[in-house]
């Protein structure tokens, strides 16, 4: 996705492993129905309170949040008063948006992140303002 977007801008792409998707552990590659069948209680717990339920052999929301917040702070520090595009996965996007909106981790499912959705956050001093979230109007013809 970053390469496609960059084909219109010719900017330097930095691949940051800290912005990878959440590690789904034992759930990786499984369908929702398979996960529900095998881990029904845990799945419903993760859907209701993701902060209190960890994916087996995977990453917790807290672990994802820690690595995402660390790299976002570095990006903000290195690019003060600059525009930066971050093209990443739903998990890190949710963490970034929840932090900017002042929401806790259990708002995970309330933070909508569509494929190709665009959110703009403006950081000034230690304050974040979400200018818009998950805009998909550019995809209406697809």
**41 and 111 part of one domain:** no
**83 and 133 part of one domain:** yes
112 in Cβ contact with 133 (< 8 Å): yes
CATH of the domain at 97: 3.40.50.1240
pLDDT tens string 28-59: 999 999 999 999 899 999 999 999 999 999 99
For residue 107, what are the CA distances in angstroms to 6, 36, 89, 99, 135?
32, 21, 17, 11, 19
pLDDT tens string 21-33: 999 999 999 999 9
pLDDT in tens, the chain (142 residues): 788 887 888 888 899 999 999 999 999 999 999 999 999 899 999 999 999 999 999 999 999 999 999 999 999 999 988 999 999 999 999 999 999 999 998 899 889 999 999 999 999 887 999 999 999 999 998 8
Question: Strand 118-124 and strand 127-135: pairing?
Answer: antiparallel
**106 and 86 part of one domain:** yes
How far is the C-alpha of 40 from the C-alpha of 34, rounded, in Å? Answer: 9
pLDDT at 1: 78
Number of domains in the chain: 2
How far is the C-alpha of 131 from the C-alpha of 61, rounded, in Å? Answer: 25
**29 and 99 part of one domain:** no
Domain range for 46: 23-58
**107 and 83 part of one domain:** yes
């Amino acid at each position: 996705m970053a390469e496609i977007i960059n084909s219109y801008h010719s900017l330097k792409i930095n691949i940051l492993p800290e912005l990878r998707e959440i590690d789904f552990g034992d759930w990786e590659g499984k369908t929702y129905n398979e996960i529900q069948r095998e881990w029904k209680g845990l799945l419903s717990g993760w859907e209701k309170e993701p902060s209190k339920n960890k994916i087996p052999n995977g990453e917790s929301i807290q672990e994802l949040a820690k690595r995402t917040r660390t790299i976002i702070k570095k990006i903000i520090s290195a690019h003060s008063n600059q525009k930066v595009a971050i093209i990443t996965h739903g998990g890190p996007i949710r963490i970034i948006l929840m932090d900017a909106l002042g929401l806790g981790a259990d708002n995970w499912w309330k933070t909508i992140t569509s494929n190709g959705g665009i959110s703009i956050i403006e950081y000034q001093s230690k304050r974040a303002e979400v200018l818009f979230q998950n805009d998909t109007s550019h995809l209406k013809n697809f």
